[in-house]
Amino acid sequence: MRGRAADDGAGVPPPPPLVPLVAGVGARRGVPVAEVLELITASCAAAGYAVRQVVALATVVAKADEPGLTGAARELGVPLRSFPAAALAAVPVPEPSAAAAAAARTPSVAEAAALLAAGPGAVLAAGKRKSPPPARATCALAVPAGRAGTAVTDSGALTAGREGAPVVPSTGTVIVMASPNPPRRGPDRRTAVAGDPAPGSATPGSKEPQ
pLDDT one-digit tens code per residue, 78-136: 999 999 999 999 999 998 888 888 888 999 999 999 999 999 999 999 999 999 999 99
Buried b (16+ CB within 10 A) or exposed e, 24-38: bbbbbbebbbebbbb
pLDDT one-digit tens code per residue, 34-60: 999 999 999 999 999 999 999 999 999
The reported pTM is 0.68
Confidence of residue 67 (pLDDT cuts 50, 70, 90): very high
Domains annotated on the chain, with CATH: 16-194 (3.30.420.180)
Q: Is the pLDDT of residue 202 over 50?
A: no
**Beta strand 158-159 pairing with 173-176:** unpaired
Query: Which is more confident, 171 or 13?
Result: 13
Taken in order 27, 89, 195, 54, is the CA torsion positive or negative?
positive
